[in-house]
Amino acid sequence: MASLLIKNARVIDPSQDFDKVADILIEDGKIAGLGSFENADEIIDASGLAAAPGLVDMHVHLRDPGQTYKEDIISGCKAAAAGGVTSLLAMPNTSPTVDNAETIRYILSKAENADAKVYVAASISKGLKSKEPTDLNEVKEAGAVALSDDGRPVEDTKMLIEAMKNAPKLGMAVTAHCESLPIANGGIMNEGEVSRKLKVKGIPESAEDCGAQREVAFADVLGVPVHICHVSTKNSVAMIRDAKKRGVKVTCETAPHYFSLTERELIGRDADYRMNPPLRREEDRQAIVEGLKDGTIDAIATDHAPHSPEEKLDFEKAPNGSIGMETSLSAGITKLVKTKELTISELIKKMSVNPAQILNIKAGSLKDDYPADVVIFNIDEKYTVDINKLHGKSKNCPFKNREMYGRVRYTILDGKVVFKA
């Protein structure tokens, strides 16, 4: 296989505490060294650009199988590559649900030639119905790396406890959608000033807080790890911070929209700003930023959830979800790095190093012999998000028409350029 040399980049690799101008040598699809090198079959001059381990997005809905009019594995991975994402965790709420070996094999087979590496989360319960447990040994053997009923909480607490107890033995992560469905009660946005103004049913913050409290309590009592998905409330952040101080094995993620936007975006009744959990209040947004700064929040993931423009037309009936893989790095640079809330190295750690460690996959590092998965980007380049230029099938982007910093210039997967701006 050919060699590739990335010259003169600001190389940022938090896994090695490395942040300086250097070259990256890639041979046979693997990292062969950081330093100063002269020759290779292909050379990319990255002067003035930054290079980092490819992003690891641990929360993605690819809609394949079953809803491929919204997204499919190939189109989703094109969107990933355009955002610098080289590894992603595909959630199981497809049709059929990812609760069996056959569906996992279908996803992994289709992903073989995609522009990003697809890892699979299998469901904890069959059909996400919390009635019958998935055969964990079967899905592990077929290639799943994580367990989640994301899209819904696991309502049967006994079933959730069994999964949390067995997952570590199988080397799998449990990623938990924390929500009390009775408290959420069919709400469509955050319960508060804006929902009252729009006269629509809101979701109280306590719906998430109660769910997070349950999972944290189980992790504490059982002494096993749990990962909390898409944290959006100040109380959840405080609860997880406290649990970590007590030694509970809890990790968590938030999404770019929760540290960037608030419920006020919904005043115009645009369903592209409707997701679950919903955009919250300004004080919640600030608490999310604080949680990122002090290490309470380990990871930034997108919860990339494509829907067709037709589905998003009716504000009150539209399904929840927004897309995010192409804008996640820019959102982080714009809202966290440029505002001096995080350094660029701290941001990359939360978008690449930590998610890879939580999922226990070989990614998130530019160490020798690691897969040559690299994102090259311009921290200072400004651009406006144009939904018509996005690479996935759906356009429900909450950052549409916004001016942002941090343009991805190249994405390299196993030593091969899969995206060039």
Active-site annotation, residues: 303
3-state secondary structure of 199: coil
Q: How far apart are CA 363 and CA 340, in angstroms?
A: 27
Contact criterion met (CB below 8 Å) for 24 and 5: yes
- What lies within 8 Å, CB to CB, of 19 at 6+ separation is 10, 11, 12, 13, 344, 345
Tell me how far apart the alpha carbons of residues 319 and 274 are, in angstroms, rounded to a whole number.
Answer: 8
Q: Cβ-count burial of 170 within 10 angstroms (0-12 exposed, 13-18 middle, 19+ buried)? A: middle
Distance in angstroms (rounded) separating the CA atoms of residues 294 and 346: 11
- How far is the C-alpha of 391 from the C-alpha of 413, rounded, in Å? 17
Q: Are 379 and 345 in contact (CB under 8 A)?
A: no
Residue 256 preceded by cis peptide, ω within 30: no
Q: b/e map of 27-49 (b: 16 or more CB within 10 Å)?
A: bebbbbebeebeebeeebebeeb
> How far is residue 100's CA from residue 109's CA, in Å, rounded to a whole number?
15
The Cα–Cα gap between 413 and 114 comes to: 10
With H, G, I as helix, E, B as strand and everything else as coil, classify residue 399: coil
What are 416's two structure tokens?
């091969």
| Residue 281 · residue 232 · CB < 8 Å | no
Cβ-proximal residues to 22 (8 Å cutoff; 6+ apart), any chain: 9, 11, 34, 35, 36
Residue owning tokens 């729009």 = 198
